Amino acid sequence: MNAKSAAMLTIFSFVLLSTVSFASGIGTSKITFSSANLTIAPGAAGTVSYTVSLTSGKVWGTNTNLVNSANLSNEGINVSLSKTYSDPNYTGVMTIKVSSATKPGRYAVLLNATGDDPSVTNALFTVFVKTSAVNTTTTVPPTTVPAFSLYNSTTKAVNATKGARFSLMAMDGKLINVTVPAGTYVEMGNKTLSSYNFTLAIYTISNLSAPSSASKDIVTYGFAYLVNGLISPAISFVNATGADMPLITTAQYNSSWTSWTFLGGKQVNTSYIGGSYKFADVWTYNSTAEDIVNTQFFKPVMWVFMIKPSNVTTTSTAPTTVSTIPTTTPTTISTTAPYTSSNNSSTDYYAAAIIIILIAAVIAYAMRRKK
């Protein structure tokens, strides 16, 4: 073995051992805030600090993302994060700017930490926009109506005898799955269709607060079924005898999530304008699959997903591996973001160093014998 080969072997051994050591550095992290909520006046801004910290495993890169920026922007709320990527632990400042036109109410800011586990878990922060100072001049506020803007959709042709399955990712990285069972026909007017186009669509929402009977719930986003491009309660999914045939809908959320049926709006191009809440929907939490399930929807209409704050915790966990990217009161927040590593990591480094030294010694011995 010549000197060049020995050097290459040493370098290769170092790279291999280093790669194994760092690749094993996959852990879980949590996002915490310095306060659970913030009250801001229209036209003003506020800040809150957040910390991404390691909860288990080894240090690795973590992305922090703002999930519902489109929804917030529609309401005149702009959110920015001072730091979105690093190895935990790290801290940042979230700046929230509220426009003078934003209506008073409760708004959700959703952050998540992403990795390639794959898994995305939300951390919820609540913003209360308070009523503006009373003016001496009385003006009539402009009339606003709820507006749903298309965010994402998927469409397939369905054969009633075969059925179909749909899956669509929402803006928070969670999947909504819909199964159209075999034997599902469409009753439309005086016709029964055995073949039709089915669309699963997700919408961002503006000018909509929670229903009065669930005023503390937080509005997140809307989703709808469409048949041949139409949202209408006059259309039904039925079986071969004409009886209602509910579809099976699942969503990757915990039991704090629910929805309300929303009717009476009109389709305008790809948007849905107007309408009102009609009734709360019934979802069942499946602890095995860790999702919520509905088996009652049998019409292509609009629904609004909501979160019940009383069931939302203030800590979020997510894998801390590198990702390309597509609420909650902590006890104390550190003012610095120290780099931390587990004892296991140090042990790995020492072991790697010893192995490299042994390899070098073997190479040196072999070269001496050759001489």
DSSP state of 230: B
Find out whether the peptide bond into 89 is cis, omega within 30 degrees of 0.
yes
Instruction: Identify the bridge partners of residue 195 per DSSP, sorted by sequence position.
Output: 159
CA separation, residue 240 to residues 151, 191, 192, 279 (Å):
34, 12, 9, 28
Three-point CA angle 50, 112, 103, nearest 5°? 75
Say which residue, 208 or 60, is predicted with more confidence.
208
The one-letter amino acid code at 108 reads A
pLDDT in tens, 284-332: 999 999 999 999 999 999 999 999 875 444 333 333 333 333 323 333 3
Residue 366's SS3 state is helix
Q: Are 63 and 84 in contact (CB under 8 A)?
A: yes
Tokens for 81? Answer: 């994060």
CATH class of the structural domain 28-134: mainly beta
Tokens for 350? Answer: 């020492």
pLDDT in tens, 142-167: 447 999 999 999 999 999 999 999 99
Mean pLDDT of 225-249: 97
Task: Write the DSSP string, 322-340.
Answer: ---------S---SS----
Show the beta-strand stretches assigned E in 244-300.
248-251, 257-263, 266-268, 271-273, 276-280, 284-286, 291-294
Q: What span, in angstroms and rounded, lies between the C-alpha atoms of 316 and 327? A: 8
pLDDT for position 63: 82
Task: Write the DSSP string, 4-51.
Answer: HHHHHHHHHHHHHHHHHHHHT---EEEEEESSSEEEE-TT-EEEEEEE
Q: Are 258 and 285 in contact (CB under 8 A)?
A: no
**Residue for token digits 């036109």?**
101
pLDDT surpasses 80 at 333: no
Q: What span, in angstroms and rounded, lies between the C-alpha atoms of 98 and 47? A: 11
Q: Are 232 and 300 in contact (CB under 8 A)?
A: yes
Which band of pLDDT confidence, cut at 50, 70 and 90, is reported for residue 334? very low
Three-point CA angle 293, 257, 233, nearest 5°? 65
Residue 69's SS3 state is helix
Say which residue, 276 or 108, is predicted with more confidence.
276
Give me the chain's average pLDDT, please: 78
Q: Are 57 and 115 in contact (CB under 8 A)?
A: no
Q: The whole model's pTM is what? A: 0.57
Nearest alpha-carbon partner for 125 in 207, 63, 39 = 39
Least confident residue range of 66-70, 328-332, 342-346: 328-332
Find out whether the peptide bond into 118 is cis, omega within 30 degrees of 0.
yes
pLDDT for position 66: 85
- Quote the percentage of the chain above a pLDDT of 90: 46
Domain 147-311, CATH number (from 1.10.150, 3.30.390, 2.60.220, 2.60.40): 2.60.220
Domain ranges of the chain: 3-23+343-370, 28-134, 147-311
The sheet that has 235-238: what strands, in order across it? 191-193, 185-188, 235-238
pLDDT in tens, 15-57: 444 433 332 346 667 788 888 788 899 999 999 888 887 777 7
Residue 109's SS3 state is strand
Instruction: Identify the bridge partners of residue 244 per DSSP, sorted by sequence position.
Output: 238
pLDDT surpasses 60 at 133: no
Q: Helices in the chain by DSSP H: which ranges?
A: 3-23, 69-74, 343-370
Q: What span, in angstroms and rounded, lies between the C-alpha atoms of 165 and 167? A: 7
Residue 274's SS3 state is coil
Q: What span, in angstroms and rounded, lies between the C-alpha atoms of 235 and 213? A: 28
Nearest alpha-carbon partner for 257 in 296, 202, 214, 226 = 214
pLDDT surpasses 80 at 101: yes
Q: Are 224 and 271 in contact (CB under 8 A)?
A: no
Least confident residue range of 119-133, 179-193, 307-321: 307-321
- Quote the percentage of the chain above a pLDDT of 70: 70
pLDDT surpasses 50 at 137: no
pLDDT for position 23: 29
Fold: same for 28-134 and 147-311: no
